[in-house]
């Protein structure tokens, strides 16, 4: 990489040094996250849109879910931002539960919501995603955009390939998710790029009240909880 000096003569910036400092920042974020979340116990990660564009019923459901999870003894993990994340944190926070926000530094959209008992800030998306997966016993995914889809498909890939211990994944809102589910079944599975059994890695639900009990049932007896347990990639 070449930059100009004050006297306009070029000089070479040591790209290796820049990369080394970036590596230390990444390691520092991992260390901070691991230290803050160690011993977190039972936790459920909730994903969904950061934008206030969805039906108000969706945010009410996310808040109700956060409350129900806290009352069932689960820690609620979110990306810490507005929208669905705010609603889930709010439900857990007001129910007296532990409500953790793993915030991301962005030039727009992301502002930490005020309903966090624990708040961490990350510069790198991939570090934050490790934390959101590593400490979760289930994922609940509300309607969202590219970020939500990225988090959903990465978690399903990790479960499918046995890179993490399988856990239940719930997609809330059949009207929103049905087109995607149809495409996975009728295009991916039909053409053999996915196995038909991969559709059983997640469950589409319209009600959230029963999710804490279903998570409990899964971890007590996974073979009878209605989710497919992959045996290999």
The domain segmentation of the chain, as residue ranges, is 1-38, 41-224
How many Å apart are CA 27 and CA 40, to the nearest integer?
Answer: 20
**Choices 3.30.420.40, 3.40.50.450, 1.10.20.10, 3.40.50.10470: CATH for 41-224:** 3.40.50.450
Strand 43-47 to 75-78 pairing: parallel
What's the whole-model pTM score? 0.87
* Spatial separation of the C-alpha atoms in residues 42 and 200, rounded to whole Å: 23
pLDDT in tens, the chain (233 residues): 444 445 555 545 566 667 778 899 999 999 999 999 999 999 999 999 999 999 999 999 999 999 999 999 999 999 999 999 999 999 999 999 999 999 988 776 567 899 999 999 999 999 999 999 999 999 999 999 999 999 999 999 999 999 998 999 999 999 999 999 999 999 999 999 999 999 999 999 999 999 999 999 998 887 656 676 665 44
Beta strands in the chain (DSSP E): 2-4, 10-12, 43-47, 75-78, 99-104, 118-122, 139-141, 169-172, 203-205
């Amino acid at each position: 990489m070449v930059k100009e000096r004050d006297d306009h003569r070029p000089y070479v910036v040591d790209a290796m040094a820049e990369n080394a400092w970036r590596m230390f920042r990444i390691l520092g974020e991992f260390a901070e996250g691991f230290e803050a979340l160690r011993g977190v116990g039972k936790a459920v990660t909730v994903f969904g849109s950061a934008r206030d564009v969805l039906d108000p019923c969706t945010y009410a459901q996310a808040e109700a879910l956060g409350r129900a999870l806290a009352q069932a003894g689960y820690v609620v993990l979110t990306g810490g931002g507005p929208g669905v994340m705010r609603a889930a944190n709010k439900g857990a926070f007001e129910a007296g539960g532990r409500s953790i926000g793993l915030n991301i530094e962005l030039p727009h959209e992301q502002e930490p919501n005020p309903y966090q008992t624990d708040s961490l800030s990350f510069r790198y998306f991939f570090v934050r995603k490790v934390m959101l997966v590593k400490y979760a016993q289930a994922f609940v995914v509300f309607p969202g955009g590219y970020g939500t889809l990225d988090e959903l498909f990465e978690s399903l890939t990790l479960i499918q390939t046995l890179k993490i211990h399988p856990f239940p994944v719930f997609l809330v809102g059949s009207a929103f998710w049905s087109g995607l589910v149809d495409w996975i079944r009728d295009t991916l599975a039909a053409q053999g790029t996915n196995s038909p059994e991969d559709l059983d890695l997640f469950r589409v639900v319209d009600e959230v009240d029963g999710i804490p009990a279903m998570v409990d049932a899964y971890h007590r007896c996974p073979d009878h909880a209605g989710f497919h347990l992959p045996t290999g990639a």
